[in-house]
Structure 1
């Protein structure tokens, strides 16, 4: 079997396992972005969509992804709505509005699911992680320590959240630097624990975290430059090797180096496949051990941006 035929066979197997994206305009066979990362397809099935009967919500501003206990996909809108997606078609099947303990909407950014189904949602305005039950009712909150929360900059607070291991610590990332910190350093807050510092590539902020299942964290770093477009890096952090509270980091790929797969963009993008990638979750593993990862871009409810899903294979370096 040729290498091309083997790759085609692998993609067919993944599709049969329910990992295929929804409708896509990809017309070019995928090739790796780096030795560790390959975007195998993309889908614009959610772009411009609305969902609901008596009340309609735009399926937009998606900033977080997670897999529920039953295998359904959860997509979090920063407009305080949690959508459930069919894991095969990626179509929305339900919508749950989220409010905090006072009944106010959230500036929701990241989501993770604990073993009992509890949803952990970061709120950028509250600078906290809120716990919700499956019906969308608030069950509690994880507050950021005052020495971190009091120095957080507006609109640069909590973004990604992950459960590092079953029953293990919850980790949430600050998007930007704290007042008084080295401007190149970001704080990762943990419950329990003292947290860590993390240094993304220069000029990039942290937008999302996902646990790899072996104690490490995938990290999305990104920025936007007008007239140029989005820069999106996928990195790996290893808490087990932290020194003096600093997380070691390995760059896995600059997603701008990935093939465009025939994608188009309405705004200027060096790679038309990219947009404002903010959400990420791990779907599972392939038969050869690669992580099956799903990314989503936040369109900021801007008609010149795109809500796009990306299916990604990530081959982790040895731990």
Structure 2
């Protein structure tokens, strides 16, 4: 088939990646409507990883997904572990890593470069570090001081992705800065220099849904981003909204301290709704979360493009169980149709 430019740009990253067998097939053998919206369709889910171990490591706390150079899906645990999954969503390897002092990170975002090195965020400082395949620390990237000084604890770098053929790195703040409005999210970029190192680039603002934080971002390949916003409320449980954001006309806010005043002339990245995932059919999925309106949903934190569809993409998403007895490590398959540019 002939791919539209936005989809064709990500072909290299997913050529060897296949839609995971365990995700593509729903648990129920009975056919059911799978449309979440006119632009999104859930293809199935798998709880096969839930409360399992691999080579002595707990397979949970999963906060990010990325496709490796060999096409395999890699899952990041926020306990400083990387799991490589086979096409049946089973762990094939595990690697541990640490910070400069040998301490565990609160690792939340993952992007994999063409040379196989891993870029990983920590939402504590916040920080971005680069590791080799064996988990050895190679470098730490610069981070603007304002993102560290004015952060809200445990609401910093949650999403990470590579764009522009790997030459632009993008990290999203889960929450707001204390100098901004509570729905404002800052998204930081880095540009690759001639020596292969990443240098600070432009920063833009994104208006999140009220009460929602950015859980993950994924570059489409044409300058736009998939943005996954996630929230929890006792009345409905977990909910998640998937958008396409376009930052290309957004103001560079690197030198702007406060964004609470929307009359300041700052242009935020535009956003187009793809789906409210709470509107997806539950597919008979179980849930132990009290008050969870749609039992299919959990604490979705990871997302990766794992296939191409006519006019769109196939996504794999994962939940973070937090090693809780009431939360589940769950993988989802989702087909999305992209809006026109």
Relative to structure 1, is the Cα distance of residues 278 and 175 closer, same or farther in structure 2, using a 3 angstrom cutoff?
A: same
For the Cα contact (< 8 Å) 1:215–1:240, is it kept in 2? yes
CA distance in 2, matches of 1:83, 1:30: 32
Aligned residues, how many? Answer: 298
Question: After the TM superposition, which of the residue ranges 75-84 and 165-174 deviates more from structure 2?
Answer: 165-174
User: Structure 1: 5+ residue runs without aligned partners?
Assistant: 1-16
Query: Is 1:113 the equivalent of 2:112?
Result: yes
CA distance in 1, matches of 2:33, 2:339: 21
- 1:279-294 aligned within 5 A: 279-286=302-309, 288-294=310-316
For the Cα contact (< 8 Å) 1:164–1:216, is it kept in 2? no
**Which residue in 1 is equivalent to 2:228?**
220
Report the Cα offset of residue 19 of structure 1: 1.2
**Which residue in 2 is equivalent to 1:166?**
165
Q: CA offsets, 1:5-24, max 9 Å, x none?
A: xxxxxxxxxxxx84143175
Relative to structure 1, is the Cα distance of residues 307 and 211 closer, same or farther in structure 2, using a 3 angstrom cutoff?
A: same
CA distance in 1, matches of 2:249, 2:287: 39
Secondary structure of the 2:322 match is coil
CA distance in 1, matches of 2:327, 2:275: 23
Report the Cα offset of residue 135 of structure 1: 1.2
Report the Cα offset of residue 124 of structure 1: 1.0
Secondary structure of the 2:21 match is coil
Report the Cα offset of residue 264 of structure 1: 1.1
Relative to structure 1, is the Cα distance of residues 136 and 245 closer, same or farther in structure 2, using a 3 angstrom cutoff?
A: farther
**Which residue in 2 is equivalent to 1:31?**
34
For the Cα contact (< 8 Å) 1:26–1:42, is it kept in 2? no
User: Structure 2: 5+ residue runs without aligned partners?
Assistant: 1-16, 192-200, 252-265
CA distance in 1, matches of 2:133, 2:28: 35
**Which residue in 2 is equivalent to 1:6?**
none
Query: Is 1:313 the equivalent of 2:313?
Result: no
Secondary structure of the 1:33 match is strand
Secondary structure of the 2:268 match is coil
**Which residue in 2 is equivalent to 1:102?**
101
Secondary structure of the 1:232 match is strand
Task: State TM-score, norm by structure 1.
Answer: 0.90
Relative to structure 1, is the Cα distance of residues 201 and 69 closer, same or farther in structure 2, using a 3 angstrom cutoff?
A: same
Secondary structure of the 1:75 match is strand
CA distance in 1, matches of 2:176, 2:48: 35
CA distance in 1, matches of 2:154, 2:69: 31
CA distance in 1, matches of 2:247, 2:112: 20
Query: Is 1:297 the equivalent of 2:319?
Result: yes
Secondary structure of the 1:143 match is coil
Task: State TM-score, norm by structure 2.
Answer: 0.84
- The answer to which structure, 1 or 2, has the higher relative contact order (CA under 8 A, 6+ apart) is 2
CA distance in 1, matches of 2:231, 2:324: 17
User: Among residues 245, 260, 282, which one is paired with 1:260 in the alignment?
Assistant: 282
Secondary structure of the 2:188 match is strand
CA distance in 2, matches of 1:245, 1:99: 38
Report the Cα offset of residue 245 of structure 1: 5.1
RMSD in angstroms over aligned alpha carbons?
A: 1.5
